[in-house]
Structure 1
């Protein structure tokens, strides 16, 4: 893996050393060719490149040296030239079937061995691996997609070009943010996005959001990931003020340039707690409030029947998430996808997946903010809870009276377009002790359905009370399960509400309380 400067220096050394075979791994052929032209000019040697559309040409003068556009014709021409001259350098841009031991790769290998005898160099640009026996005849180098510094240079160059044609509102900071948002895509894709924005007649600050949409279109068909569409009107989260404050504090770090400080962007949060209390809704709300695309990683679709297939799929999914960054990656009920690691994992697949995921979670530097949720804490791999994996571990408990009041108001305003009488609201809050957020939503939904079917005039305090009385929350149907979840969360996680209620203090051992405090502005 190499950024552009590292790649350029290595390529120059390999050509100067007359390495007979150089494989360049890249999906950006035009970017590689530009670097080859700069290298040819710098070390003052001719380099000839073959394409299926034009045949063989001198990359500096663009003079054709062979009209045959077929790959076999190119190899025959290269072989003929090597028998007659020394110190020649050739580039093949489209050569298929070099991954395996076959007739073409063996033919190619023969040409490389001839190049070695004549101090020649054969370079191939490919997006795929190269047959091992052939690769051992030379050197391999990969050109990464543009990093943030390179992307910033691309953005500035493009903006400077369009400034003479259309009004440009982007400041230096806006250009930096645009470069961050376009990480993970190629140079030509970035230039196309900016051209699409400029063609509207102006480059405005609001157009920064167009970058996210454009990247979303580029990666519309993603293996292992599901793009989640968001409706901002339905993503208001009641309560969880501690989680909200932490997110507000971390948000600027997701797109800031942190290299000088030597720290990585926020990695994400693990939300554990009582089912139905807003963990999944929080993942959606984070993406909506941060104006970032949301992708859901479904670990159940990762598992395959062949050895190594599951690991390959997970690697591809995580790699794709890095390409679409900055983004929010939502892993719902993560304990189900990573369950089975350990003694019961007969094939070892779950253990390997856990190890692969944890390594990525700790070492990756991409701007992918992971929001993982879990209900059954007992099935979570212990390694997942170690400090340094996620930035923080939050416990989402049953809502407090104040939070229940806020949640009831949210659903009432959304469905009935009105506020409840204060005395009725207080009565519903008292009745709903032990309700999860989903229970409150269900109770209000029944009232809203009645209003839709029979008119708003049918909505009475009695209807609300009856609807709330008909709900039997999980805290009553499975009290032992809920008590276990709460006991674990109170001891080992930070309360997402931002405060400990009285019933928490009664259950929490001395010295176990955890809270997050932020400096006041």
Structure 2
């Protein structure tokens, strides 16, 4: 029996209960158990009936699809249904053995003025222990003897009970590796929700961003048992701002790989289209799938710049959900949110306590550009793994010509240079300064194409974010000169 739903019913008299459609049969059994515990009959109401006398007797009344119907109706029909709902809620609060449950399997939220008087309860996802038990039952039913480990249960954590059963059945039918089959089913299920699930990441390191690399090492320490023994807080996450192509997304993947966590990428567009109610469900799924790195790309898309100032529309509802989640989150879910326009975020999200650290990821400095070029050029020309590929003079010329190029643009330059040698019929690729300069001439950097907006991104981040890179003190750093040339 769902004790949490029962407690909400006793407290408020009426509850809107949200659950995935696949759980419908289990939900009906839950409601039967709750009605039995309350010692009242279970009564299902049809919205097509005359509702004026519907709650005349004691009982647990159940209405399906009312939230979505209210969103579709207009005029007097909507007003009549809302009036009935408000009267029914007050009646349930006044009369002891009269209860009302609105069932919602379409992630449709009630209007704000209705949600203030009737709470929404989202069906809990199974714990790791419950998942283990469910997998054991499905394996026994199929005549398979196998020890169900915690790792096996974690491979489908975040799915509902029925989704777990279905995943096990499909994994058995595929006759392959059971754990890999479960992970594949989890990826497919989460994709349907707008979440991209990457169970493991084999990514190389990235060039530059030394402070960010150090911060990743520190987060790994923060999750250690030693940190728990010292009562240090569990990390919340980072906010990374900066122009496109500077390595923010790749840094998130490296962080997940370093921590040994899967990466769950949230599709911002699908969340915006379905509203804050859908976001609540996704966050429950993400927390149930912990440990993980939860990645929000283009985080500023959640918030309209004007609404961020006025506090109106869906921005306010989304902000409320996110603020509550950041404040109450206790699982090993490390959040990384990347964005271009820091000023699009409401100030509540950038204050201390929301994110552990705020980084500005800008254009790579000279020594960082050298690292990035070496990293990508070494894929084609092994000489770049050492210091013999080009002379110091050649590097100075190339670094001067690639100033204000992003990491993505530097990668493109290295790849274009290698392709050009391949097109010339070379059996082996030996990259020289001229190859890089020729490739550079074919690329128009973002800084050149959109200088004003790029500078605005950097200016708005100053004083709010810390730089992801330390100052360049290498021999390739440009000399600082005053107006008098000193």
TM-score under structure 2 length normalisation: 0.66
> Which one of 297, 306, 324 corresponds to residue 331 of structure 1?
297
Q: TM-score, normalization: structure 1?
A: 0.62
Distance 1:121 1:248, change over 3 A: same
Choose 1 or 2 for highest CA Rg: 1
Match of 2:236 in 1: 267
Deviations 1:89-127 (A, max 9, x none): 364464758746567788899999999999874644421
1:89 aligns with 2:50: no
Q: How does 1:441-452 map to 2 (within 5 A)?
A: 441-452=411-422
From 370, 388, 391, the counterpart of 1:423:
388
CA shift at 1:158, angstroms?
0.6
1:193 and 2:167 correspond: yes
Contact 1:275 1:375 in 2 (8 A): yes
Look up the match of 1:291: 262
Which of these residues, 368, 372, 384, is aligned with residue 337 of structure 2?
372
- Correspondence 1:88-127 to 2 at 5 A: 89=59, 91-92=61-62, 94=64, 99=70, 101=78, 121=98, 123-127=100-104
Separation in 2, partners of 1:24, 1:214: 28
1:47 corresponds in structure 2 to: 41
Instruction: Tell me the CA shift for residue 38 of structure 1.
Output: 3.3
Alignment of 1:147-166 (within 5 A): 147=125, 150-162=126-138, 164=140, 165-166=143-144
Q: Compared with structure 1, are the counterparts of its residues 422 and 154 closer, same or farther at alpha carbon in structure 2 (3 Å cutoff)?
A: same
Alignment partner, residue 35 of structure 1: 30
SS in 2 for 1:456: coil
CA contact (8 A) 2:276 2:317 kept: no
For residues 390 and 117 of structure 1, the distance between their equivalents in structure 2, rounded to whole angstroms, comes to 44
Q: Secondary structure at the match of 1:423?
A: coil
Q: How does 1:5-84 map to 2 (within 5 A)?
A: 5-11=3-9, 13=10, 22-27=14-19, 28-39=23-34, 41-42=36-37, 45=39, 47-50=41-44
1:369-398 superposed Cα distances (whole Å, 9 cap, x missing partner) = 443335566776655432212121223354
CA distance in 2, matches of 1:158, 1:397: 48
Structure 1 residue aligned with 2:250: 281
Kept after mapping to 1: 8 A contact 2:252/2:336: yes
Deviation sequence 1:346-377 (CA, Å, 0-9, x none) = 79669848954773564352776443335566
Contact in 1 for aligned 2:253/2:263 (Cα 8 Å): no
DSSP 3-state at the match of 2:262: coil
Instruction: Report if the CA contact (8 A) 1:146-1:187 is conserved.
Output: no
SS at match of 1:329: strand
Please, which runs of 5 or more residues in structure 2 have no aligned partner?
71-76, 481-486
Offset of residue 270 of structure 1:
1.8
Q: Residue 511 of structure 1 corresponds to which residue in structure 2?
A: none
Structure 1 residue runs of 5 or longer lacking an equivalent are 52-69, 303-311, 508-521
**How big is the shift at 1:23?**
4.8
Aligned residues: 446
- Contact persistence 1:273–1:375 (CA under 8 A): yes
- 1:222-278, CA deviations, whole angstroms, 9 ceiling, x for partnerless residues? 4xxx8599997887532334323433553698899x999998864321223466431
Alignment match of 2:468 (pick from 482, 489, 496): 496
1:171 aligns with 2:140: no
